[in-house]
Chain A
Amino acid sequence: GENVEQHPSTLSVQEGDSAVIKCTYSDSASNYFPWYKQELGKRPQLIIDIRSNVGEKKDQRIAVTLNKTAKHFSLHITETQPEDSAVYFCAARGTGGGADGLTFGKGTHLIIQP
């Protein structure tokens, strides 16, 4: 099955700086890569996703890049703000059949320092 590794587990950045979280996956046939944000005590919510036929996608301060050859994808947050503090999860959708099963990374706790 799919295996997703996520780094770092904790990331602390100054407010206004950029943050980058990286993930690698094992199944070369995986075709969908979402990023979820989970604030303390709340449910995970999708913030951006990318499909395997696209190399980069941007939405305001958030961007995701995908390198299919190297089997890794990254989340980039620019001009970080206090409300960006949360746990971020990457995921990959393999092609094992059935429903849209996702394999998640273990999460990155992003801390924005004032």
Chain B
Amino acid sequence: DVKVTQSSRYLVKRTGEKVFLECVQDMDHENMFWYRQDPGLGLRLIYFSYDVKMKEKGDIPEGYSVSREKKERFSLILESASTNQTSMYLCASSLGGAIVSYEQYFGPGTRLTVT
């Protein structure tokens, strides 16, 4: 059973703070993703990674960066949090590699509020 966990369910930060969101998967998946979910906008891809130390921008990368130092861990960093980054953040992973399986498994989400 694939397990994707996120470090916090709820987080409150102040404008200008540096924020770290952590995601860990336990199934040796190659690919990991960060999305944000806002009402009426669906899920929008921020960044993804298909290997350790590799990263690619998604559709809305501005204001974010990521780090993948180990295969199982993918971190999302808000360099200077702003109120428009208040959102639900979802991490996901997929198998990748030689086996063609595109299913993405999601974590429980982190609801971030920036005040």
Q: Determine if A1 is an interface residue (Cβ-Cβ < 8 Å).
A: yes
Instruction: Report B-chain residues with C-beta under 8 Å of the C-beta of A102.
Output: 45, 102, 104
Interface-located stretch among B19-27, B36-44, B79-87: B36-44
CB distance from B43 to the nearest CB of A (A): 4
Known contacts A1-B59, A32-B102; A101 and B42 CB within 8 A of each other: no
- Nearest neighbor of A33 in chain B, beta-carbon distance: B102
- Nearest neighbor of B38 in chain A, beta-carbon distance: A106
Q: In the complex, A105 Cα to B42 Cα: how many Å?
A: 6
- Flag if B96 contacts A100 (CB, 8 Å): yes
Instruction: Report B-chain residues with C-beta under 8 Å of the C-beta of A107.
Output: 40, 42
Interface-located stretch among A13-21, A44-52, A69-77: A44-52
Q: In the complex, A54 Cα to B103 Cα: how many Å?
A: 17
Query: Quick one: which of B56, B90, B107 contacts A98, CB cutoff 8 A?
Result: B56
Known contacts A43-B106, A46-B104; A98 and B43 CB within 8 A of each other: no
Known contacts A1-B59, A43-B90, A107-B42; A99 and B106 CB within 8 A of each other: no
- Nearest neighbor of A100 in chain B, beta-carbon distance: B102
Known contacts A98-B50, A99-B96; A44 and B90 CB within 8 A of each other: yes
Q: In the complex, A49 Cα to B42 Cα: how many Å?
A: 18
Which residues of B38-89 have CB atoms within 8 Å of chain A's CB atoms? 40-45, 48-50, 56, 58-59
Interface band, chain A: 20 to 34
- Flag if A99 contacts B50 (CB, 8 Å): yes
- Flag if B48 contacts A106 (CB, 8 Å): no
Q: Mark B85-111, 1 if CB is under 8 A from A, else 0.
A: 000001000101000001110111100
Instruction: Report B-chain residues with C-beta under 8 Å of the C-beta of A103.
Output: 45, 59
CB distance from A80 to the nearest CB of B (A): 22
Q: In the complex, A46 Cα to B103 Cα: how many Å?
A: 7
Instruction: Report B-chain residues with C-beta under 8 Å of the C-beta of A43.
Output: 90, 106-109
Q: Which residues of A are interface residues toward B (Cβ below 8 A)?
A: 1, 6, 9, 32, 34, 42-46, 49, 89, 93, 98-107
